[in-house]
Amino acid sequence: MTFIRALTGACAAALTSLCTFIAPAEAQTYPTRSITMVVPFAAGGPTDVVARIVTAHMAQTLGQSIIIENVVGAGGTTATTRAARAANDGYTLITGHMGTHAASVPLYPKLAYHPEKDFEPIALLAGTPILILARKDFPPKDLKEFVAYVKANSEKVNAAHAGVGSVSHVSCELLHSILDVKPVGVPFNGTGPAMNALVAGQVDYMCDQIVNAVPQINAGTIKAYAIATPERNPSLPNVPTTAEAGLPKFQAQAWNAMFAPKGTSAAIVASLNAAASKALDDETVRKRLLELGSVIPGPAERTPEALASLVKNEIAKWTPVLKPAT
Amino acid sequence: MADTMGHSATANRNTSVVISFCLLAIAPQIFEFIWSFGTMFGWGAGRGPAAVVIGHGTALLAGGPGALLGAVGGDTKKASSDVLLALIYSYPIFAVAILTIFMTIRSAQDYVGGIALLALALFALWASSDLQGMRGFSFGAGTAPRMFGGLLVALGAGIALTGLLTDGPAMAHYAWRGPLFVMASIVFFALAIRPLGVVVTAFASFMIAAMGTHETRWVEAVIVGACLTLGCALLFPYVLGLPMPMFPRFLVQ
Amino acid sequence: MFDIFHNLGLGFGVVFQISWWSPWWLYGASLPISINILMCLIGALVGTLVGVLPGIGTVATVAMLLPITFGLPPIGALIMLAGIYYGAQYGGSTTSILVNIPGEATSVVTAIDGHQMAKQGRAGPALAIAAIGSFFAGCVATVLIAVLGAPLTKLALAFGPAEYFSLMVLGLIFAVVLAKGSVLKAIAMIVFGLMLSMVGSDIETGASRMAFNIPELADGLGFATVAMGVFGFAEIIRNLDAGAEMNRDLVQQKITGLMPTRKDLIDSAPAILRGTVLGSILGILPGGGAVIASFASYTLEKKIAKNPSRFGRGAIEGVAAPESANNAAAQTSFIPLLTLGIPPNAVMALMVGAMTIHGIVPGPQVMQKQPELVWGMIASMWIGNLMLIIINLPLVGIWVRLLRVPYRLMFPSIVIFCAIGIYSVNNAPVDVILAGVFGLVGYWLIKHDFEPAPLLLGMVLGPLMEENLRRALLISRGDWSVFLTRPLSAVLLAIAAFLLVLTVLPALRAKRDEVFTESEN
């Protein structure tokens, strides 16, 4: 194990010394040692995968290794609290997502940080579209029928979700507030068990991120009504957007973005942003993110300012939806 | 009955059991009182010692009559958490302690064990008293804790009852040296691992734990402790790649 | 039938794929090596190490090693992770038997009779039979995955919330049956465990329950924390009691043969067989299947034994059956992953993560789309089991020799290993202190003749039981009759009721004789 790790370490060190040697002294002063990237979810989860793909490329640009630290607990808020309190020297960063940096505000009244006040936004990394999914023998055939059916039978239908505060939970709450219904939400312990119940037909529908759903949809074990993004997704060309299918108000994406603790200097933020943006332009990075069904932000969406306004808008969007639910 | 010696011994035993039950009844309050001194020095959150004493004192003394009056007067004002602790936890245990005076305990092991479980269940009931109960057909956050808390109260009482009705072993003998030093070693480890790193902490904890028995031979313990520390320092951070500090923080910087 | 041979051939072909390695120090010559076999070996070794070290769980290790596998080819990476997973199942029994510390929920029952055997100087046979049973179960389960994987998937889908709840009830009844002493006390311990499992945030509302605003309690008490406490630390503290030296010295002198005798093998053969069958079936069920399998097989052995009182006092069947069951379950729990693409437990979820990072998103079609991957993994399981028995049988001698180390040196070492292990799970010092507190609780439990095994089972199954009860009632809109109208659920509840009556009746007639004869040593 460690041989491999030591080997990569040695390579990285060699590369670093080479880079520092070549790079002009005045241009690269910031990363003089390795950077810690906190990921508030378990290794292998959607956020972790995005963070790893992007940081691997960023490390090459910055000439320093980026160590991913997975800290799990309390819907990601444990790790986010820790990152908010870390030194603002640019050596501790966090890859947050919609839950930790927006939905957590109304969900956890005792939250120990505020996404806007305690963080410097760096860059938006990727968006993961959300789909409306249902068990394969659920009566409605398309989104219009689905809306009518759920409205008519809101006492009878069951919506699965992967636990309070999960993407599937908050996005379904948004859907329900748009439809003005309050069906029974059946909580599961993570996306896996929820998907299992949907495949087995024990629950009627759920809203979930595209990553987990594509293979099931392709195999016909579940069906998808619509994708809640402005455009169709290349991995599911046959699934219409919510706008096409007649529910334009339902727009939701699980986004991943990089933040630094408040007070990190503007120069550091700028160099990190440039590195992240360069990574998102890289051909292999793009290919791997697209394979996951992610939407890669365009150049205008990658700036720290754009991320700051995204966080602001998202908090404003989720607060009324989630406040009455808790 | 003829065996007066035995009888007085039981009576003696009962007094100590009663006293320990009374202490158990206010154990959470005492714990918070001790804890509150820590908050004065800035670690841990909570009330100051004076506030704790006043809060629990009034709750214990006036809580019962107050609640009784409130119930009579139809006053549905929500009782404070201190009062609830007194009502749900302390009063029933005091009642049990008083009852114990009049009992003949035939198996102290079962009786004390049952009452301690009962206390634990009451404490859990208090801890979950602020949670929501049933909402229509769906369970609230507090439903299951209350269900199992109630069940544990019944089971604890049942075990205590067997202790009164059937003969069984008396209280076992407790040693103090082993628990004390093993606990000290664990607590030291927990407090020291972050600031002092694996090397210092593991060795020091080893030596503290080794004090737990009179069999320890010190030269031997130091050698084994050093080897073990070396082994741990290689095994955990390097072979298994666990992220943990190796040396004291002040030495590294 | 031909298909299976074809597929297995494909799998073994993948595993034995030879690549030529020409390091510089051979000056141009090449060595044939198989990367996948190497990965399998590394995985098995790391898994054994992780299983043996108390506190460090499989989930934590796989999570830690996951990033390293990103640089490997996907098949090699998955073979290695799978190796860690079932390697830990082999290794987990070692600490249970030697020092009464179960590293995983699945080896809690092994500790009951395994540690008693060690105390009687029969640690060698106990360890050996655990390895042999695991090997047999692993082989059978691998064949089962290959032949019946697809049809067995239906079982995983047939289990809804109502069925799970009934299964959990049955599991808790098993915990009552396996207790040695008073039934009342065993039930009380289960409920105590259930209470402990409620600490943390509520699944449905996210409300914090009994956590007293301690951040480390927000996600509940960890299994490792409680298990290390009530088993590990409590055992140490108890052994330090005055007068306990005598017993310990006796143990060290008594050590007899290393390998099981002929009689041991004859006694445990049917137990291994039954354990394998139970484990294979229950392992397919996502979540808790493996734990219930180990308890169920122990209960079964105790119930059909001619002399049930031997159990809890070093019966070799009490080691053979649960160890076979948990290893069989560890293998068959791959079925939902390989056929549905849905991870049934935390380790599998991490493996899905590993696949995702390599660009393979597993789904129902993974068998058709990635046959090399699926069959390569299945073939590697068999090879992994073979490696593990080759690694483990010689190790038995070393472990048993470890028991000869004087206790005055052994116990501080165990304390340190446990402390580091618990700390490493979440990097949380509070966890270590909590484990210490549970050590005192465990010591108190021993003094009052309460057994810790039902407590742990209650704690592991508690969340599953509560969640599924609530889910079932949500779906049925509060109608409790679902548990009886759904046939599978009704059958499970009927078995549970039958077992409970069988256990409680004699206890009602007369307080069990065992309570009096029992002198806890």
Numbers of helices and strands, H then E, in chain C: 24, 4
Is pLDDT at B135 greater than 60 in this prediction?
Answer: yes
Asked if pLDDT for residue B76 goes beyond 70, the answer is no
HSE-CB of C443 using CA atoms within 13 angstroms: 23
The pLDDT, as a whole number, for residue B155 is: 93
pLDDT grade, residue C282 (50/70/90)? confident
The pair of structure tokens assigned to C308 is: 């049930």
Query: Which pLDDT score, from 0 to 100, does residue A20 have?
Result: 42
Type of residue at C181: G
| pLDDT confidence of residue A24 | 40
The tens digit of pLDDT for each residue in C52-77 reads 887 777 777 777 777 777 777 888 88
| pLDDT score for B185 | 94
Helix H or strand E segment including A160: strand A158-161
Q: Is the predicted pLDDT of residue A15 greater than 50, yes or no?
A: no
* Mean pLDDT, chain B, whole residue set: 80
Segment A1-23 shows an average pLDDT of 43
The whole-angstrom distance between A49's CA and the closest CA on chain C is 6
Phi and psi at residue A123, in whole multiples of 5°?
Answer: -160, 150
Whether C466 and C472 have beta carbons less than 8 Å apart is answered as no
Return the residue of B nearest to A5 by Cα.
B241
Question: C471 in contact with A at a CB cutoff of 8 Å?
Answer: yes
Helix ranges (DSSP H) in C222-261: 223-227, 234-239, 244-254
Helix (H/G/I), strand (E/B), else coil: C54: coil
Least Cα distance to C328 among C130, C123, C50, C142 occurs for C142
User: pLDDT tens-digit profile of C186-245?
Assistant: 899 999 999 998 888 787 777 778 877 777 787 788 888 888 889 888 988 888 886 666
Q: Could you tell me which chains touch chain A, where touching means 3 or more CB pairs under 8 A?
A: B, C
Return d(Cα B159, Cα C189) in angstroms, integer. 11
Whether the predicted pLDDT of C149 surpasses 80: no
pLDDT tens figures, B90-112: 888 888 888 888 878 888 888 88
What average pLDDT does chain C have?
82
Give the pLDDT mean for B12-28: 81
Higher pLDDT, C365 or B2: C365
**In b/e form, how buried is each residue of B157-183, taking b as 16+ CB within 10 angstroms?**
ebbbebbeeeebbebeeebeebbebbb
Instruction: Tell me the shortest Cα–Cα distance from B133 to chain A, in angstroms.
Output: 14
d(CA A72, CA A4): 25
Q: What is the pLDDT of residue C231?
A: 87
Chain A residues near residue C341 by CB distance under 8 angstroms: 215-216
Residue B114 confidence (pLDDT) above 50: yes
pLDDT above 80 for C323: yes
Q: How confident is the model at residue B220 (pLDDT cuts 50, 70, 90)?
A: confident
| Element at C395 (helix H, strand E) | helix C371-402
Range with the largest mean pLDDT of A121-135, B4-18, B38-52, C247-261: A121-135
- Distance, in Å, from the CA atom of C69 to the CA atom of C76, rounded to the nearest integer, reads 8
Cβ–Cβ < 8 Å for C339, C149: yes
Q: For residue A36, what pLDDT is reported?
A: 83
Say if residue C521's pLDDT is above 70: no
What is the dihedral sign for C-alpha A195, A199, A201, A206?
positive
Residue A7 has pLDDT above 60, yes or no: no
Q: What percent of chain C has pLDDT over 70?
A: 91
φ/ψ of C70, rounded to 5, equals -65, -25
Query: From the list A44, A53, A165, which residue is nearest C354 (CB)?
Result: A44
Residue A23's pLDDT band, with cuts at 50, 70 and 90, is very low
Interface test with B, best of C212, C420, C431, C455 (most B CBs within 10 A): C420
Distance from the Cα of A184 to chain B's closest Cα (Å) equals 9
Helix ranges restricted to H, chain B: 4-25, 27-40, 49-73, 81-85, 91-101, 108-127, 143-165, 177-210, 218-234, 249-252
Written as one letter, the residue type at B240 is L
Distance CA A31, CA A66 (A): 10
**Percentage of residues of chain C with pLDDT beyond 90:** 11
Q: How confident is the model at residue B218 (pLDDT cuts 50, 70, 90)?
A: confident
pLDDT, position B17: 84
- pLDDT for the residue numbered B69: 65
Q: What 3-state DSSP class applies to A42?
A: coil
B6 secondary structure, DSSP code: H
C64 to chain B, any CB pair closer than 8 A? The answer is: yes
What does the longest C-alpha to C-alpha distance in chain A come to? 69
Instruction: For residue A326, give the amino acid letter.
Output: T
For residue C161, list chain A residues with Cβ-Cβ distance below 8 A.
186, 197, 202
**Contact criterion met (CB < 8 Å) for C474 and B155:** no
How sure is the predictor about A16, in pLDDT bands with cuts at 50, 70 and 90?
A: very low
C161-178 vs C487-509: helix axis angle to the nearest 10?
Answer: 20
Which residues does chain B have within 8 Å of residue C463's beta carbon, measured at their own beta carbons?
Answer: none
The answer to whether the beta carbons of residues B81 and B123 sit under 8 Å apart is no
Residue of B247 and B13 predicted with greater confidence:
B247
Where residue A1 falls among pLDDT bands split at 50, 70, 90?
Answer: very low
C521: buried, middle or exposed (CB in 10 Å: 19+, 13-18, 0-12)? exposed
Neighbours of chain B (3+ CB pairs under 8 A): A, C
**Nearest 10 degrees: Cα torsion C131, C132, C135, C137:** -110
Helix (H) or strand (E) holding A120: strand A119-135
pLDDT of residue A180: 86
Question: Would the pLDDT of A234 be above 80?
Answer: yes
> Residue B238: its chain A contacts at CB < 8 A?
2
List, in sequence order, the alpha helices (H) in C104-213.
108-119, 123-158, 161-178, 183-197
Give the chain C residue whose CA is nearest to the CA of B127. C210
- Average pLDDT on B173-187 reads 88
Pairing type for strands A119-135 and C31-33 reads unpaired
Which pLDDT belongs to residue B8? 43
Q: Tell me the pTM.
A: 0.84
Which is higher by pLDDT, B149 or A294? B149
Find the helix or strand (DSSP H, E) in which B44 lies. none
Region C354-379: mean pLDDT is: 79
Q: Does residue C483 carry a pLDDT above 80? A: yes
Strand partners for A187: A161
Q: If you average pLDDT over residues C260-284, what whole number do you get?
A: 88
Give the distance, in angstroms, between the CA of residue C457 and the centroid of all CA atoms in the same chain: 12
The β-bridge partners of A258 are: A95, A123
Please give the average per-residue pLDDT across A184-203, as a whole number: 85
Burial class of B39 by CB neighbour count within 10 A (0 to 12, 13 to 18, 19+): middle
Residue C402 has pLDDT above 70, yes or no: yes
Inter-chain touch A1–B241, beta carbons under 8 Å = yes
Q: Which residues, at least 6 apart from C38, have a Cβ–Cβ distance to it below 8 Å?
A: none
Question: Do the Cβ atoms of B138 and A2 come within 8 Å?
Answer: no
Q: Note the ipTM here.
A: 0.87
Q: How many residues are listed for chain A in this entry?
A: 326
Contact at CB, A49 and C356, closer than 8 angstroms: yes
Pick from C194, C411, C450: which is nearest to B209 by CB? Answer: C411
Pairing of strands A222-227, A205-209: unpaired
Residue A268 C-alpha, separation from nearest chain C C-alpha, in angstroms? 26
Q: Looking at the predicted structure, is the pLDDT value of residue A248 above 80?
A: yes
The tens digit of pLDDT for each residue in A85-106 reads 888 888 888 888 888 888 888 8
- DSSP per position, B147-170: HHHHHHHHHHHHHHHHHHHS----
**Mean pLDDT within B183-189:** 93
Mean pLDDT of C88-93: 83
CB contact under 8 A, A69 and B243: yes
> Strand A184-187 and strand A158-161: pairing?
parallel
Contact of B56 with B82, CB cutoff 8 Å: yes
| Residue C509 pLDDT grade (very low, low, confident, very high; cuts 50, 70, 90) | low
Selecting from B138, B239, B243 the residue whose C-beta is nearest the C-beta of A2 gives B239
User: What is residue C342's predicted lDDT score, i.e. its pLDDT?
Assistant: 77
How confident is the model at residue C520, as a pLDDT? 42
The confidence score (pLDDT) of residue C438 equals: 94
Determine whether the interchain pair C209/B131 forms a contact, defined as Cβ–Cβ distance below 8 Å.
Answer: yes
Write down the pLDDT at residue B46. Answer: 67
CA distance B176 to chain C (A): 8
Token pair for residue B148? 């199992």
In 3D space, the residue among A77, A320, A255 whose CA is nearest the CA of residue C201 turns out to be A77
Mean pLDDT of A216-241: 87
Q: Residue A142: its pLDDT value, please?
A: 87
Residue C169 has pLDDT above 70, yes or no: yes
Residues A209 and A172: their CA atoms lie apart, in Å, by: 11
**Chain C interface includes B161 (CB < 8 A):** no
SS3 A104: helix
Helix (H, G, I), strand (E, B) or coil at B41: coil
Q: What is the mean pLDDT of chain A?
A: 80
Is B40 exposed, middle or buried, given 0-12, 13-18 or 19+ CB atoms closer than 10 A?
exposed
The pair phi, psi for residue A36, each rounded to 5°, is: -100, 125
DSSP label at residue A102: I
pLDDT given at position B83: 79
Pairing of strands A205-209, A119-135: antiparallel
Reference A264, options A58, A62, A96, A120; nearest CA is A120
| Helix ranges, chain A (H) | 2-22, 46-62, 77-84, 98, 104-107, 143-152, 167-179, 191-199, 210-219, 242-245, 266-281, 283-291, 304-322
- Residue of B245 and A183 predicted with greater confidence: A183
Is residue C37 scored above 60 in pLDDT? yes
pLDDT at A111 over 60: yes
Give the nearest chain C residue to A76 (CA atoms). Answer: C219
CA A301 to chain centroid: 15
* Range scoring the smallest mean pLDDT among B56-60, C86-90, C144-148: B56-60
pLDDT of residue B68: 64
Q: Do C210 and B128 touch (CB under 8 A)?
A: yes
Report residue A110 as tokens: 């005792």
> Taking Cα atoms as reference points, which of A67, A70, A68 lies closest to residue A42?
A70
